[in-house]
Structure 1
């Protein structure tokens, strides 16, 4: 896979890094690094691309990925604020061989599984507490969080992958195509238009996107559109056919089919779930 390399500097005096931020939107930056990464979403929703896994994220989602796994988060248009906490650490942040001890077999297994991405639904309180502690206590709290996560079963997100090659030009092309799909998803986008954003022929764009992400352009665009539809179904009273049109689907039956592919339920059932809460 081809992505841009990101160099991570620990937050002194920690041997790992924690970053909290609030921004108007998450923009696509297709990248990888040598550290594990825990990302907790406090606010906002959108599309999450991890290795060859294309899915969505929303508040309460906590995702652990391993070193050199290409990834990016891109916001659903319309959400007004996006907040996240990102924790990045190397396997030896507590000392060489620390997690090789039998007592930490569960954490070691969790870190191994992170090579394919692992996602949890999580409460905010432990992360809030971690952020507020002094450095030594922060580190102990992070260890406790990893121990707690190791006790929970969670599905793997991505398939097996090889270490990505460093290629900033290709990463830039992926970002350009992703940015266009998120910006213009409501229109009748063609492969030629998406390829044009990366200054590629359609066949070349399809090949580069598939080789770099493990997905294809059509699947990614459908996920972006479905995620945008989820926001409208959740936050407005628009009828379902209007939601379909506003999110770029040509007809209601196609919308229902693609929505079920991504969410394993119908748009009507998705909306009903929020009406009951």
Structure 2
């Protein structure tokens, strides 16, 4: 599955991009900017990294730098003459757009953590979704200075909210998390290098230098999921990448991803992705090609 780099135009006198998208946004692509996306009109299939999900109007997602994605709308959003009738609002910015000193401020620890999570994509819900949506819509009628301070208010929400879910599997996380010091970093680095093999809990506890209970509680708090779920999603995420290769059969992919048997692989894949590996492969073949 091919992806291409697409960049939005940024005015020379503005530090970030605020864009109203009324053209077809169904091209699989990536870009170095962080991106906040609000779907105002549209429904269909959303693909972010290794995740394929249905989306509806009011979908609100934040994506980390260079994370491949596409929102492919249903046929009803294309008129008979081919005109696209969907609509979205987009904010894009580079991490250093306000200077590295701003990002490194002690008060921005929560923001830095959120930005590291966005390497896997963040889907908002609840009051957080309502607040960010309201700000983004209001920004459309603001002048650049007002938009800047509105973006800072969104940053404040990013830094404090827990009302979001991570979209992609852990295999898509960026090195920003790995740069943090501590035993959990060493554990995750070990998993990334060895998830294709059998992972022994005693080895993990030795790396973390923690008791069983302490490790599981600390890991879940840091990565927002239990350790076993993290490892499972890591393997499934890798399998999703391999499914894009038509030269590999499902059995080969299962074993290459760290599963000991095909039935176990199929069961866990469906529980996480909501479809079988074969159906996922067909989604890549038919839903992305347009």
Does TM, normalized by the shorter one, top 0.5? Answer: yes
The answer to whether the aligner puts 1:149 opposite 2:153 as a matched pair is: no
- 1:221/1:120 CA distance change after superposition, 3 Å: farther
Question: In structure 1, how many angstroms separate the alpha carbons of the residues matched to 2:246 and 2:281?
Answer: 16
Q: Choose the corresponding residue for 1:119, options 108, 123, 127.
A: 123
2:101 paired residue among 80, 97, 101: 97
Larger relative contact order (Cα-Cα within 8 Å, sequence gap ≥ 6): 1
Match of 2:203 in 1: none
**Kindly tell me: are residues 100 and 223 of structure 1, through their superposed partners in 2, closer, same or farther at Cα, counting changes over 3 Å?**
same
Residue number among 243, 246, 250 corresponding to 1:203 in the alignment: 246
**d(CA) in 2 for partners of 1:69, 1:222:** 19
- Name the structure 2 match of 1:3: 3
1:245 counterpart residue number? none
2:138 to 125, 129, 136: 129
Distance 1:53 1:15, change over 3 A: same
2:21 is paired with a residue whose SS is strand
Per-residue Cα deviation, 1:23-79 (whole angstroms, up to 9, x for no partner)? 4xx453111111101100111111111111111221222111111111111002224
Query: How far did residue 105 of structure 1 move?
Result: 1.2
Closer, same or farther in 2 for the Cα pair 1:222/1:143, shift >3 Å? same
Unaligned runs of 5+ in 2: 79-84, 175-244, 254-272
Kept in 2: contact 1:47–1:223 (CA 8 A): no
Distance (Å, rounded) in 2 between the aligned partners of 1:9 and 1:97: 26
**Is 1:48–1:56's contact at 8 Å kept on the other side of the alignment?**
yes
Aligned in 2, Cα 1:206/1:86: closer, same or farther, shift over 3 Å?
Answer: farther
1:43–1:104 Cα change, 3 Å: same
Residue 36 of structure 2 is matched in structure 1 by 38
Instruction: Say what the alpha-carbon RMSD is for the aligned residues.
Output: 3.2
Secondary structure of 1:155's match? Answer: strand
CA distance in 1, matches of 2:283, 2:98: 42
Runs of 4+ in 1 over 6 A off after TM superposition: 222-225
**Are residue 83 (structure 1) and residue 94 (structure 2) matched?**
no
CA distance in 2, matches of 1:97, 1:31: 30
Whether contact under 8 Å (1:113, 1:156) holds in the other structure is yes
